[in-house]
């Protein structure tokens, strides 16, 4: 039982064209990359596709999976909105992969060791496990970014991009939680869950970076591992 494929995507609500409205075309390249990443998971013929994203707590979500985008300005249902509202990261995951049947949140402040344990547990769930990992990079890339400008943001995001491109689980596991928190990084804990999921594998994974940009001063990455 092991992780055989993974996709990493960001989770801005503007990824959904109806939310972005007149600005929808600005993220077309990102949407194309995200669709390609999810197709990578489908083509891997996984037995269990698990969506992982950050929230305030670490919880295995129970069906029905879904919610509405009304907190972000439009009452658009995603998945099955009859159950408990998914947090934004998992809601975007449900929008990207409507066929997913397993959703796991991880606390945004979860220590790296806890993230690693969770990743190993998820990778052991089935013979062929796939992960869709949702997470944004630094929110401090420009003066108009949500966290204003921080000179550390660009090199931080560059290191994450390199780790994702190289399927470098050790580099993701080594991300400093304190620095990530200061740079308003939403993806640190989910990325470290991915790193943990690789620890017990019997072969090294390869990666491909499909997208890297910071269109709104926030680092967005799309990558595939196999």
Q: How many residues does the chain have?
A: 226
Q: Which residues pair with 208 in a beta bridge?
A: 224
C-alpha closest to that of 196 among 44, 45, 2, 37: 2
C-alpha closest to that of 130 among 11, 8, 15: 8
Residues 148-172 pLDDT 10s: 999 999 999 999 999 999 999 999 9
pTM over 0.85: yes
Dist CA 61 CA 53 (whole Å): 11
How does residue 199 score in pLDDT terms, banded at 50, 70 and 90? Answer: confident
Q: What's the chain's Rg over C-alpha atoms? A: 16
Residue partners of 106: CB distance under 8 A and separation at least 6: 52, 53, 54, 55, 58, 115, 118, 189, 190, 193
Quote the Cα angle for 165-56-149, to 5°.
55
How does residue 1 score in pLDDT terms, banded at 50, 70 and 90? Answer: confident
Reduced to 3 states (helix: H, G, I; strand: E, B; else coil), residue 209 is strand
CA distances from 111 to 24, 93, 100, 119, 156 (A): 36, 23, 26, 13, 18
Reduced to 3 states (helix: H, G, I; strand: E, B; else coil), residue 203 is coil
Looking at residue 201, its pLDDT comes to 58
Ordered by where they begin, the domains of the chain are 2-225 (3.40.830.10)
Looking at residue 204, its pLDDT comes to 86
Dist CA 31 CA 209 (whole Å): 14
């Amino acid at each position: 039982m092991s992780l055989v494929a993974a996709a990493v995507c960001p989770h801005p609500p503007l990824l959904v064209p109806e939310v972005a409205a007149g600005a929808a075309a600005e993220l077309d390249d990102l949407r194309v990359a995200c669709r390609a990443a999810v197709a990578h998971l489908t083509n891997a013929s996984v037995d269990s596709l698990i969506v992982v994203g950050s929230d305030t707590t670490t919880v295995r979500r129970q069906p029905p999976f879904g919610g509405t985008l009304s907190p972000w300005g439009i009452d658009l249902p995603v998945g099955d909105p009859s159950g408990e509202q998914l947090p934004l990261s998992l809601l975007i995951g449900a929008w990207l992969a409507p066929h997913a049947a397993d959703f796991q949140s991880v606390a945004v402040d979860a220590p790296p060791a806890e993230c690693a344990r969770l990743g190993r547990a998820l990778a052991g769930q089935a013979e062929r496990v796939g992960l869709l990992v949702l997470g944004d990079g630094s929110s401090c890339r420009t003066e108009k970014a949500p966290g204003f400008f921080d000179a550390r943001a660009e090199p931080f995001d560059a290191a994450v991009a390199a780790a994702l491109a190289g399927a470098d689980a050790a580099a993701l596991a080594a991300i400093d939680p304190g620095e990530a928190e200061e740079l308003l990084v939403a993806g640190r804990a989910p990325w470290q869950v991915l790193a943990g999921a690789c620890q017990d594998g019997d072969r090294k994974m390869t990666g491909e970076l499909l997208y890297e940009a910071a269109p709104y001063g926030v680092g967005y990455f799309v990558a595939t591992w196999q």
